[in-house]
């Protein structure tokens, strides 16, 4: 199914986009105020185009329809959402240990919501390259008090739990989490797919090869953007086949996971290829090594400006989740982008 992909190009926004759609020279891009006027047709390793949308052969129209059809919100508020990161780990690549105490994490979460976060993502296991492996029980002991504290103090704010372990997933959902964010796209734990098939939460499938300990050994791609979309498409198919409704699914291309800095940059440049999957998109670039490679900034905590600039590339989707450490900066960036490019 994923051999054929269509890459949207020639974007227009707001009133200009609407006028071009009415004139028949552009097509709407999913849930956004954007429209695309040209496309690349990708069949395996053969690429045709760029060509105007009106010149697309009839046999490709079902594939083009993937880009046009609105995607469901996965049970979350519509529109762009800033997703605040709350890592309750001592060894994360950025802000390590800052939220290890539950009280500190809850306070930080409240501040993130005040600053504009639409949801919070709580993680208890570091998945950076070479991270130390911990047990699911240890992970849950870190997550549980933070989840309980945020549920009590922010009852209306959606909470996500970043985990690849079914034990943590089940307990987190019972404690009020509304999203499960799995860096392994539900491959790590064989009990994860059947567990989530019986729930109604949102599910983030992230692209990664190997494990956090081995992923940097798996960075060979023929075409990183197409390969990532096709491999994520297979995980979407597996989730749907297991009984998870497509409308509950979100996809994350996995910046920094089994990818070099150059590959991350190439993937971001072509991020709109993810529209082929028909799922809400999560863009998780915050403070990552690729930002440092592009800017020369070695301290991850000083990469927030680059994070905002890179994350805005995903806004043409209309309803992306932008997963960041600095919520205030990202929320401000989104407001400016919407003011310039919105309807």
**pLDDT at site 92:** 56
Joined together, the tokens standing for residue 95 give 């802000």
pLDDT at 97 over 70: no
Instruction: Work out whether strand 202-206 and strand 179-182 pair parallel, antiparallel, or are unpaired.
Output: parallel
Residue 288 annotated in active site: yes
pLDDT at 298 over 70: yes
**pLDDT at site 115:** 98
Q: Are 146 and 88 in contact (CB under 8 A)?
A: yes
**pLDDT at site 128:** 76
User: Residues 178, 270, 287, 323: which is the catalytic one?
Assistant: 323
Joined together, the tokens standing for residue 143 give 């997550």
Span 21-29, mean pLDDT? 97
Rounded-to-integer distance, Cα 108 and Cα 124, Å: 15
Rounded-to-integer distance, Cα 280 and Cα 56, Å: 25
User: Residues 259, 287, 288, 289: which is the catalytic one?
Assistant: 288
Residue 159's φ and ψ, nearest 5 degrees, are: -115, 135
Residue 259 annotated in active site: no
pLDDT in tens, 111-136: 999 999 999 999 999 887 777 889 99
pLDDT at 1 over 90: no
Tokens 């049970």 -> residue: 75
């Amino acid at each position: 199914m994923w051999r054929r992909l269509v890459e949207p190009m020639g974007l227009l926004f707001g009133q200009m986009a609407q006028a071009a759609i009415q004139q028949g020279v552009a097509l709407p891009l999913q849930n956004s105020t954007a429209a695309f006027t040209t496309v690349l047709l990708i069949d395996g390793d053969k690429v045709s185009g760029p060509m105007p949308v009106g010149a697309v052969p009839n046999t490709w129209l079902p594939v083009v329809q993937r880009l046009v059809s609105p995607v469901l919100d996965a049970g979350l508020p519509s529109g762009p959402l800033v997703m605040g990161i709350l890592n309750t780990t001592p060894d994360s690549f950025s802000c390590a240990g800052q939220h290890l105490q539950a009280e500190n994490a809850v306070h930080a979460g409240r501040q993130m919501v005040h600053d504009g976060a639409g949801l919070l993502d709580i993680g208890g296991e570091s998945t950076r390259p070479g991270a130390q492996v911990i047990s699911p029980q240890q992970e849950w002991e870190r997550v549980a008090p933070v989840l309980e504290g945020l549920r009590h103090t922010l009852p209306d704010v959606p909470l996500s739990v970043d985990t690849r372990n079914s034990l943590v997933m089940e307990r987190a959902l019972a404690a009020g989490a509304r999203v499960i964010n799995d860096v392994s796209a539900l491959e790590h734990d064989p009990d994860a797919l059947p567990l989530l098939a019986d729930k109604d939460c949102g599910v983030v499938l992230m692209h990664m090869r190997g494990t956090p300990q081995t992923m940097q050994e798996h960075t060979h791609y023929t075409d990183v953007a197409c390969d990532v979309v096709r491999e994520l498409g297979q995980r979407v198919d597996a989730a749907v086949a297991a009984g998870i409704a497509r409308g509950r699914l979100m996809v994350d291309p996995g910046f920094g996971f089994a990818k070099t800095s150059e590959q991350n940059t190439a993937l971001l440049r072509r991020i709109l290829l993810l529209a082929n999957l028909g799922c809400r998109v999560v863009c998780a670039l915050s403070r990552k090594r690729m930002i440092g490679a592009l800017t020369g900034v070695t301290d991850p905590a000083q990469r927030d400006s680059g994070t905002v600039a890179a994350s805005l590339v995903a806004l043409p989707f209309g309803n992306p989740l932008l997963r960041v450490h600095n919520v205030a900066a990202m929320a401000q960036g989104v407001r400016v982008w919407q003011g310039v490019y919105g309807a």
